[in-house]
């Protein structure tokens, strides 16, 4: 379904019974709301589940130019307003994880529990340069040139060797991401820092990381240590897209945090 919010048409899907608490899932760069299929099936029994495509992704409009996380967060709030959602739990992965922590910091009145997955929630000069290099590749060669390098970064070598079905699902998501949407969101990832204010968050937060997601687990442990009362869970064997590598363990950690189990 699509709805006009914050000046663009945003694509979304709602699962579960009305009247249950809202649980919103936010996608990573170069994926779409179908990345949360396993979670929608699991959590629609206890929650009113909203999945949406971030600006420039999936079926959501992809305006040209460089985006900011302020803009991506404004999209979330406008979507919630358009759907008459006063308050929700919010889970995001990678780009969606930074969106989640930013919302927890800046709009705590709209959210209950917040789940930040596989995101250090900040850029560095080195990562900013990497994003600019990937933007240049997308501009010059299109998304196809980014498919296999992205898969190699996101998934552990043993997962790539086993080649489970979710790898081709991700490849197709990357391939079909609009170049303008990738560039816009990559620009946001090149310039953000929600780690600096993490200690001020007043909402319950779960930091969730794949064990084999490079330096991300260490960065997320630091985020959790800086926020008293937060929870940190590491998923054995999972890479950057931890909800697809280890869906059962991911769902269990989220369900435990939300009080489902």
Query: pLDDT confidence of 154, banded at 50, 70, 90?
Result: very high
Mean pLDDT on 23-49: 98
pLDDT at 110 over 80: yes
CB 87 within 8 A of CB 237: no
Domains assigned to the chain: 2-258 (3.40.50.1820)
Alpha-carbon torsion, ordered 31, 165, 92, 221, to 10 deg? -120
167-210 pLDDT per residue, tens: 999 999 999 999 999 999 999 999 999 999 999 999 999 999 99
Give the residue from 108, 112, 66 showing the smallest Cα distance to 91.
Answer: 112
Using the structure block, give the residue that is written with the tokens 């697809």: 244
Query: pLDDT confidence of 109, banded at 50, 70, 90?
Result: very high
pTM: 0.98
Mean pLDDT on 250-254: 98
β partners of residue 208: 117, 233
The percentage of the chain sitting over the pLDDT mark of 70, rounded to a whole number, equals 99
pLDDT the model gives residue 58: 98
Query: pLDDT confidence of 260, banded at 50, 70, 90?
Result: low
CB 74 within 8 A of CB 32: no
How many Å apart are CA 93 and CA 151, to the nearest integer? 16
Mean pLDDT on 104-125: 98
Q: CB neighbours of 180 closer than 8 A, spacing ≥ 6?
A: 56, 62, 63, 64, 65
């Amino acid at each position: 379904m699509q709805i006009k919010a914050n000046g663009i048409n945003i694509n979304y899907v709602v699962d579960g019974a009305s009247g249950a608490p809202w649980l919103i899932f936010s996608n990573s760069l170069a994926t779409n709301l179908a990345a949360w299929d396993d979670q929608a099936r699991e959590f629609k029994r206890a929650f009113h589940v909203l999945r949406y495509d971030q600006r420039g992704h999936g079926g959501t409009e992809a305006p040209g130019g460089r985006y900011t996380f302020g803009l991506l967060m404004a999209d979330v709030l406008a979507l919630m307003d358009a759907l008459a959602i006063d308050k929700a739990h919010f889970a995001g992965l990678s780009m969606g994880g930074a969106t989640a922590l930013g919302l927890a910091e800046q709009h705590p009145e709209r959210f209950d529990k917040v789940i930040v997955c596989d995101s250090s929630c900040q850029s560095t000069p080195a990562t900013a340069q990497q994003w600019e290099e990937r933007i240049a590749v997308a501009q010059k060669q299109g998304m196809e040139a980014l498919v296999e390098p992205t898969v190699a970064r996101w998934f552990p070598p043993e997962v790539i060797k086993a080649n489970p079905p979710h790898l081709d699902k991700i490849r197709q998501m990357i391939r079909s991401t609009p170049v303008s949407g990738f560039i816009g969101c990559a620009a946001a990832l090149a310039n953000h820092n929600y780690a600096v204010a993490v200690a001020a968050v007043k909402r319950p937060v779960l930091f969730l990381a794949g064990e084999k997601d490079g330096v991300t687990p260490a960065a997320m442990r630091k985020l959790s240590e800086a926020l008293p009362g937060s929870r940190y869970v590491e998923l054995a064997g999972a890479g950057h897209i931890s909800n697809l590598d280890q869906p059962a363990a991911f769902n269990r950690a989220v369900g435990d945090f939300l009080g489902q189990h």
